[in-house]
Amino acid sequence: MAAYANIIVDISLEKLDKTFQYSIPKELEEQITEGVCVRIPFGKRTLTGYVLECTDIPEFEVSKIRPIIGIEKGSVAMEAQLIALAGWMKRNYGSTMNQALKTVLPVKQKVKQIERKRLLLEITREEAYRKLALFEQKHYTAKARLLGALIEAGELDYQLVVQKLNISPSTMKSLEKDKIISIESMAEYRNPVSHLSQKEYSLSLNPAQQKVVDQVDADIEQGLSKTYLLKGVTGSGKTEVYMELIARTIARGKQAIVLIPEISLTFQTVMRFYGRFGDRVSIMNSRLSQGERYDQFLRAKNGDIDIMIGPRSALFAPFSNLGIIIIDEEHESSYKSETVPRYHARETAIERAAMNQAAVLLGSATPSVESYYQAQIGNYTLLELKERVKNQPLPECEIIDLRQELKEGNRSILSKRLQDLMEEKLAKKQQIMLFLNRRGVSGIMSCRACGHVVKCPHCDVSLSMHNHGKMVCHYCGYEEAVPKACPSCGSKYISGFKAGTQKIEELVKSRFPEARILRMDYDTTRTKDSYENILQAFANQQADILVGTQMIVKGHDFPNVTLVGILAADMSLHVSDYHGAEKTFQLITQAAGRAGRGDLEGQVVIQTYDPEHYAILTAKDQDYEAFYDQEIVYRQMLHYPPVWNLMVILATGKQEEELSYACDWISKEIGKRIEIGKVPVQMIGPADAQIAKISDVYRKVIYLKTKDYKTLVMIKDWTERFIKDKKAFSNVSIQFDFNPISGF
């Protein structure tokens, strides 16, 4: 039990550093934890404040520390809950309280009230359709896009049109001038009830969807707050299930948070929620400025909205009566934070839901092994949607052995079979997607004579070629000119491997000169809106072939795509962490799911050097259970998550020797205590991190594996203390990563 509490009087991020310390009276010891609202003496007055942290370390002379008067009972502010959540994150993932609070509380910024505007159709629908045909004929694509969306929705939010439809204000102005649309400013938010009655939601769930909704709803009625895993193939109607559960949540006077990976937060998705719930929905994305973000939070806090949709950070929307948290595509690695605190949105959502007696619904076509395991051992409730709503059959998949291709003299990355099928589909004017399952290795400079790879002098990574003729380090930004000769052997044969997708684009172009090709990868989507523009162009059938990285396997449906080629399916098997098979299975299944989404049947070609691998064989059959059964055996055998838990200690420092010494010492100290505790814990390392140096800072790792998560938390706490107490390590910093998603 801690003796002192650091208390903040006014909750705002700016005041975080201004905490005041009070002592905790014995009789309150049990009840004082982070987030608790207390009464404190302040000068001559009594104020209320929130406990940010409990500690045994007095900050000033002990005799001068005054005691807390009592606990403020009654309604607990929403902030109190977020503080408590930050405390939980701090303890379970390792960070300072400030780092955790900065994650959960929005940065306050003075913003002038953003004007809310909407677009309305000013002409009849018949007229609108005529105009639409005209615009399309004249290739006024922006105008056509806007008008099409307006016909569908009746009215549209201005911001939404700008952000998600990529329509410029001048396009809107021009349509307004022609009296086709009107732009209306709204002083107040509309009443949601009147909005809903304006547009009755007519879709009724099919029996399988209804069963899922009823089950969750019955639990909620009984006051149970559970975590559900909804496993349903793409197109099985998961999103409709989410929306029905949200509607019921709102009917109970509660609010909903929906997490969707940013990349899947496309116009189509947003419109579905917007179409049903109107202005009671707010969308967060990384394009919002800090001020806009704050404004969204304020709207949530003031009760102006009931639904917050967005990526990971939307989880901290300050709703006071949260009823449900939905996490779509729950297997996505973007739900894990890459910065301290390295929290996982799934676990954090479950914690936040527990504080509110709210439900958590996780949805995916290919659940994470972690979640499926939790469902198997009874921690989550498994719900399933086994059929596609529109009864489209799953596409037919075949595996091509690339080694065999080579033996038969085909050196192309496109197998004979894939080329034949492409020819056939192009002749039928159907569309094709080519997916390169490969990341990060684009554009490295290497010598063909001696194999030398040009590396960054400050980081342990190779430099990447960029179009502007320089080589760039992706970790520190270091740049240098492309050398004329190999720095190691002097040979002139030094060149950059072209970005994987770019090379494929060239190859396809020369093989099918008539075909129109679009490419989507990191390079072609760096500018604002380019991602959505490419998808839109492909959807409008302005191209026959879309070549891309994993970006193309998500988001839009393309009904005219009948062939998906997965060019090197095993690439992701070789990533250097234990998720290789899982990622491969997910990517292949998702990519395959892109074929045959319309009335035409789809075909999938999986090219691989490893045709016997279970991840590839089970993905071919779209058999999740078969994959899971084999994968879990491997995780069990090697004591990997989810069967055991894993913590990585990442230690960094500028002096390599000091760092090595610190790591050895830490691992020895941990070793001693593990012996004493006799809990089965495995320790690996210290060893160099995968990237052993970034910006001249050395990086070392220690891996710890044990069954019980709490043991790892305990080891984390020890380690923090070792570092703090030992003056000699003052230049070493440490970070923790629990059940990491990517390697170190």
Interface residues with Zn ion (CB under 5 A)?
447, 449-450, 452, 456, 458-459, 473, 475-476, 478, 486, 488-489, 491
Select 447 or 619, whichever has its Cβ closest to Zn ion.
447
Out of ligand ADP, Zn ion, none, what residue 476 binds, judged by CB under 5 to 8 A for its kind, is Zn ion
Which one of residues 106, 235, 318, 596 is an interface residue with ligand ADP (CB under 6 A)? 235
Out of ligand ADP, Zn ion, none, what residue 458 binds, judged by CB under 5 to 8 A for its kind, is Zn ion
Out of Zn ion, ligand ADP, none, what residue 348 binds, judged by CB under 5 to 8 A for its kind, is none
Q: What is d(CA 528, CA 538) in angstroms, rounded to the nearest whole number?
A: 18
Select 234 or 645, whichever has its Cβ closest to ligand ADP.
234
Stretch binding ligand ADP (CB under 6 A), from 90-98, 99-107, 168-176, 231-239: 231-239
Nearest approach, Cβ of residue 462 and Zn ion (Å): 10
Select 205 or 575, whichever has its Cβ closest to ligand ADP.
205
Select 232 or 642, whichever has its Cβ closest to ligand ADP.
232
Nearest approach, Cβ of residue 232 and ligand ADP (Å): 5
Q: What is d(CA 195, CA 278) in angstroms, rounded to the nearest whole number?
A: 7
Q: What is d(CA 544, CA 557) in angstroms, rounded to the nearest whole number?
A: 15
Q: What is d(CA 657, CA 698) in angstroms, rounded to the nearest whole number?
A: 10
Nearest alpha carbon to residue 92 among 325, 338, 326, 347: 347
Out of ligand ADP, Zn ion, none, what residue 486 binds, judged by CB under 5 to 8 A for its kind, is Zn ion
Q: Is 1 exposed, middle or buried (0-12, 13-18, 19+ CB in 10 A)?
A: exposed
Stretch binding ligand ADP (CB under 6 A), from 112-120, 141-149, 230-238, 569-577: 230-238
Out of Zn ion, ligand ADP, none, what residue 24 binds, judged by CB under 5 to 8 A for its kind, is none
Q: Are 53 and 97 in contact (CB under 8 A)?
A: yes
Under the binding rule (CB under 6 A), the answer on residue 395 touching ligand ADP is: no
Select 123 or 449, whichever has its Cβ closest to Zn ion.
449
- Report the relative pairing of strands 645-653 and 733-738 from DSSP bridges: antiparallel
Q: What angle do CA 314, 365, 539 make, to 5 degrees?
A: 80
Nearest alpha carbon to residue 643 among 651, 653, 635: 635
Under the binding rule (CB under 6 A), the answer on residue 232 touching ligand ADP is: yes
Which one of residues 34, 79, 157, 240 is an interface residue with ligand ADP (CB under 6 A)? 240
Which one of residues 19, 236, 266, 667 is an interface residue with ligand ADP (CB under 6 A)? 236
Q: What is d(CA 111, CA 114) in angstroms, rounded to the nearest whole number?
A: 8
List C-alpha distances in Å: 202 to 273, 274, 275, 369: 14, 15, 12, 36
DSSP state of 90: I
Q: Which helix (H) or strand (E) holds 697?
A: strand 697-706
Structure tokens at 176: 């307004």
Structure tokens at 561: 């795509």
Under the binding rule (CB under 6 A), the answer on residue 3 touching ligand ADP is: no
HEC readout, 92-138:
HHHCCHHHHHHHHCCCCCCCCCCCEEEEEECCCHHHHHHHHHHHHHC
- 529 Rama sector, left if φ>0, alpha if ψ -120 to 50, beta otherwise: left
Stretch binding ligand ADP (CB under 6 A), from 200-208, 448-456, 509-517, 658-666: 200-208
Out of ligand ADP, Zn ion, none, what residue 209 binds, judged by CB under 5 to 8 A for its kind, is ligand ADP
Under the binding rule (CB under 6 A), the answer on residue 239 touching ligand ADP is: yes
Nearest approach, Cβ of residue 362 and ligand ADP (Å): 13
Nearest alpha carbon to residue 541 among 563, 514, 560: 560
Nearest approach, Cβ of residue 528 and ligand ADP (Å): 27
Q: Are 96 and 60 in contact (CB under 8 A)?
A: no
Which one of residues 62, 134, 203, 687 is an interface residue with ligand ADP (CB under 6 A)? 203
Nearest approach, Cβ of residue 235 and ligand ADP (Å): 5
Structure tokens at 654: 């500028």
Helix (H, G, I), strand (E, B) or coil at 241: helix
**Residue the block writes with tokens 């606990």:** 71
Select 215 or 462, whichever has its Cβ closest to Zn ion.
462
Q: What is d(CA 319, CA 322) in angstroms, rounded to the nearest whole number?
A: 6
Under the binding rule (CB under 6 A), the answer on residue 593 touching ligand ADP is: no
Out of Zn ion, ligand ADP, none, what residue 452 binds, judged by CB under 5 to 8 A for its kind, is Zn ion
Out of ligand ADP, Zn ion, none, what residue 173 binds, judged by CB under 5 to 8 A for its kind, is none
Select 452 or 639, whichever has its Cβ closest to Zn ion.
452
Nearest approach, Cβ of residue 475 and Zn ion (Å): 5
Under the binding rule (CB under 6 A), the answer on residue 488 touching ligand ADP is: no
Nearest approach, Cβ of residue 269 and ligand ADP (Å): 8
**Residue the block writes with tokens 């895993």:** 229
Q: What is d(CA 5, CA 19) in angstroms, rounded to the nearest whole number?
A: 9
Under the binding rule (CB under 6 A), the answer on residue 238 touching ligand ADP is: yes
Select 235 or 641, whichever has its Cβ closest to ligand ADP.
235
Sign of the torsion formed by the C-alpha atoms of 29, 33, 37 and 43: positive
Select 450 or 687, whichever has its Cβ closest to Zn ion.
450
Out of ligand ADP, Zn ion, none, what residue 234 binds, judged by CB under 5 to 8 A for its kind, is ligand ADP
Which one of residues 81, 166, 234, 739 is an interface residue with ligand ADP (CB under 6 A)? 234
Q: What is d(CA 257, CA 267) in angstroms, rounded to the nearest whole number?
A: 18
Which one of residues 206, 430, 446, 630 is an interface residue with ligand ADP (CB under 6 A)? 206
Under the binding rule (CB under 6 A), the answer on residue 209 touching ligand ADP is: yes
Nearest approach, Cβ of residue 161 and ligand ADP (Å): 22
Select 131 or 248, whichever has its Cβ closest to ligand ADP.
248
Out of ligand ADP, Zn ion, none, what residue 269 binds, judged by CB under 5 to 8 A for its kind, is none
Which one of residues 16, 28, 389, 482 is an interface residue with ligand ADP (CB under 6 A)? 389
Which one of residues 35, 49, 106, 237 is an interface residue with ligand ADP (CB under 6 A)? 237
Nearest approach, Cβ of residue 452 and Zn ion (Å): 4
Under the binding rule (CB under 6 A), the answer on residue 205 touching ligand ADP is: yes
Nearest approach, Cβ of residue 205 and ligand ADP (Å): 5
Nearest approach, Cβ of residue 458 and Zn ion (Å): 4
- Report the relative pairing of strands 561-566 and 431-435 from DSSP bridges: parallel
HEC readout, 126-187:
HHHHHHHHHHHHCCCHHHHHHHHHHHHHCEEEHHHHHHHCCCCHHHHHHHHHCCCEEEEEEC
Out of ligand ADP, Zn ion, none, what residue 491 binds, judged by CB under 5 to 8 A for its kind, is Zn ion
Helix (H, G, I), strand (E, B) or coil at 334: helix
Select 25 or 483, whichever has its Cβ closest to Zn ion.
483
Amino acid, res. 262: E
Stretch binding ligand ADP (CB under 6 A), from 228-236, 425-433, 671-679, 680-688: 228-236
Select 460 or 720, whichever has its Cβ closest to Zn ion.
460
Q: What is d(CA 722, CA 733) in angstroms, rounded to the nearest whole number?
A: 11
* Adjacency order of strands within the sheet including 4-8: 20-23, 4-8, 45-55, 37-42, 70-71
Binding site for ligand ADP (CB under 6 A): 203, 205-206, 209, 232, 234-240, 389-390
